[in-house]
Amino acid sequence: MSRTVEVLSVFGTRPEAIKMAPLVAELQRRPLFRSRVCVTAQHRELLDMVNRHFAISPDFDLDVMRAGQTLCGLASRVLAGMEQVFAQAAPALVLVHGDTATTAVCALAAFYAGIPVGHVEAGLRTFDRRSPFPEEGNRLVAGHLADIHFAPTARNAQYLKQENIKKNVYITGNTVIDALAYTVRPDYAFAQPALQDLATRFAHTVVVTAHRRENHGAPLEQICGALRTLAGRYPDTCFVYPVHPNPAVRQTAERLLSGLPNLLLLPPLDTADMHNLMARCRFVMTDSGGLQEEAPALGKPVLVLRRETERPEAIEAGTALLCGTRQEAVVAAAVRLLEDEAAYQAMAQAINPYGDGRASPRIADAIEHFFGLRELPPPPFLGCAEGGGD
Ligand code: UDP
């Protein structure tokens, strides 16, 4: 007798949506699943941009975002909202992604409702609960409540094992690499007008993003100071900074960086614009997690504007450099990439420590395996950590 597994994918922010979109598409393609999507809309505008791009129409929308929202307010709206959604949708499995409030609280709501939870992008750790805050705490909560764990790398699976999470751990790669296959095109035409003639006006483009909570205030001011110095010193290089709408970020960036001819402060970019810009840039300067994964896959060096990272694989592979947020350190690292061709080439290696672009089919295979609908998948399944599938 044929059986359909009801899977509810829940996400609330831009990076979650980008990384869940290829998996949602994969689940929809498979007849064994009935795939539905719930958004919490923890971020409204940025999330909707991604959903439009990937043609995802959510089946449930909690619309929890409020002006000046606090973590507790957000968490309580997600918890109450998910209870209603579970009552209506009755999923056999809830999928959450990564490390946001949506991730942790939705995992908790599913646990309370007795519904198994699958955690996509499991096992990332800095081992410092305060940094990044609240992400490290959120992924700990989700990881310890989840029933199936989709670890992007062997290291992530190892970290779970150290926390005694050994059952149903699948090493899959990161779905963000799958997403690049949907967006990056050699003949791509940019939607954002300011990006359309960059290649003719400048010798190089450097992509910048900085918005993480731990960089608000003095660290972001240092980063902006570095960008000002670099833009002044290299007029043939365009620094493109799509600015996060968070007022704490936007006000600082506008105050310190407005009025420079080769420093573009732009509104958030559509995902395809962002990925294609990265594919054509010289290098990336960022505090974002997603960009640390995407840039190495595109062969672009990354200067990580943070003190620590839960993504050490690219640093060990030599394609990313943890340079902190001090102005002089950021300037020095960027100058090296702009002036020292050998140093640049050493970092500009197209490597994929985060996967081969087939994480979504592996996750779908693993879910089928979890529900007893298939044998452990053959290669190129990356692996099943010890005890996986028990
Ligand atoms: N991104 C985007 N438009 C932008 C900036 C980022 O589409 O203007 C994408 C980026 O390519 C990556 C994701 O958003 O896939 C990263 O999101 P964010 O930096 O907000 O979160 P993090 O990765 O730090 O969790």
Helix (H, G, I), strand (E, B) or coil at 334: helix
Predicted structure pTM score: 0.95
Tell me, what's the pLDDT at 377? 59
Tell me, what's the pLDDT at 3? 79
* Ligand 1, atom 7, residue with closest C-alpha: 271
Number of the ligand 1 atom closest to the C-alpha atom of 267: 8
Kindly write down the DSSP assignment for every residue of 132-194, as one continuous string.
STTHHHHHHHHHHH-SEEEESSHHHHHHHHHTT--TTEEE---HHHHHHHHH--TT---SSGG
Domains annotated for the chain, with CATH where assigned, are 5-174+355-388 (3.40.50.2000), 187-348 (3.40.50.2000)
Tell me, what's the pLDDT at 2? 62
The per-residue b/e assignment along 367-376, b for 16 or more CB within 10 angstroms, e otherwise, is bbbbbeeeee
Tell me, what's the pLDDT at 363? 96
Residue 357's nearest CA partner among 151, 98, 180 is: 180
Asked if residue 120 lies in contact with residue 148, where contact means CB atoms within 8 angstroms, the answer is no
Q: Is 22 in the pocket of ligand 1 (CB under 6 A)?
A: no
Residue 39's nearest CA partner among 54, 23, 22, 61 is: 61
The answer to whether the peptide bond before residue 361 is cis (omega within 30 degrees of 0) is: no
Give the mutation target among 54, 220, 291 for probing the ligand 1 site: most ligand atoms within 8 A of CB. Answer: 291
Tell me, what's the pLDDT at 374? 87
Q: Is 388 in the pocket of ligand 1 (CB under 6 A)?
A: no
Residues lower than pLDDT 70 in the chain: 1-2, 377-390
| Whether 121 is catalytic | yes
CA pair distance 208, 218, nearest whole angstrom: 17
